[in-house]
């Protein structure tokens, strides 16, 4: 972790800590809560995530559960557009559509309200971490089922060894990341 005097010239990666063997043995968890907790680091991350989309029409920002909500809300606010959460099964109160997927260490189902995205809306998908790409792929499928047009997927961290970026790019998605980490 950086000392406060070092943070003036830091990059986003410098604010992210690694937790060994969380949530399972052998996993190197890249913890962005330290980035979120630092006002300069958090502002830097949001500004850098927004930069590639200057001048591009975005109607909605979709955040993937759960840290994508923090990023997505801040980005939607900066763009003055709506925010839409994609949540784990059973967490949204209204009528939803769902998509199952595999993640780095298990399986899950995500959902979106069936009226959250209108056909033709331009959507930016955001999350903190791109690993296998399973969560993002499921989110993309939900958005596309509602008729949304995904302009890009933006992440703070990419774990290139897990192939998520390639998976999304093979689906025709534009992918933007702020930093990469080796390993799982």
- Catalytically annotated residues: 67, 104
Q: Which of 48, 56, 68 is nearest to 143 (CA)?
A: 68
The angle, 0 to 180 degrees and rounded to 10, between the axes of the packed helices 39-50 and 67-79 is: 70
Buried b / exposed e along 29-51 (16+ C-beta atoms within 10 A): ebbbeebbebeebbebbbebbbe
160 Cα distance to chain centroid: 15
Do residues 175 and 124 touch, judged by C-beta distance below 8 A? Answer: no
Strands 17-20 and 28-31, sheet pairing = antiparallel
Instruction: Give, for 21, the enclosing helix (H) or strand (E).
Output: none
| Separation of alpha carbons 49 and 67, rounded Å | 14
């Amino acid at each position: 972790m950086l000392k406060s005097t070092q943070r003036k010239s830091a990059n986003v990666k410098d604010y992210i800590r690694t937790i060994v063997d969380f949530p399972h043995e052998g996993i190197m968890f890249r913890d962005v809560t330290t980035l979120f907790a630092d006002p300069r680091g958090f502002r830097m991350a949001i500004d850098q995530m927004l930069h590639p989309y200057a001048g591009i029409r975005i109607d909605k920002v979709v955040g993937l559960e759960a840290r994508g909500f923090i990023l997505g809300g801040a980005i939607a606010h900066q763009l003055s557009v709506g925010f839409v959460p994609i949540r784990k099964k059973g967490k949204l109160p209204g009528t939803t559509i769902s998509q199952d997927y595999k993640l780095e260490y298990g399986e899950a189902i995500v959902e979106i309200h069936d009226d959250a995205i209108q056909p033709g809306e331009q959507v930016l998908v955001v999350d903190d971490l791109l690993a296998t790409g399973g969560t993002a792929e499921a989110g993309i499928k939900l958005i596309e089922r509602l008729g949304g047009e995904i302009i890009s997927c933006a992440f703070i961290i990419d774990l290139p060894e897990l192939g998520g970026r390639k998976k999304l790019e093979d689906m025709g998605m534009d992918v933007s990341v702020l930093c990469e980490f080796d390993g799982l």
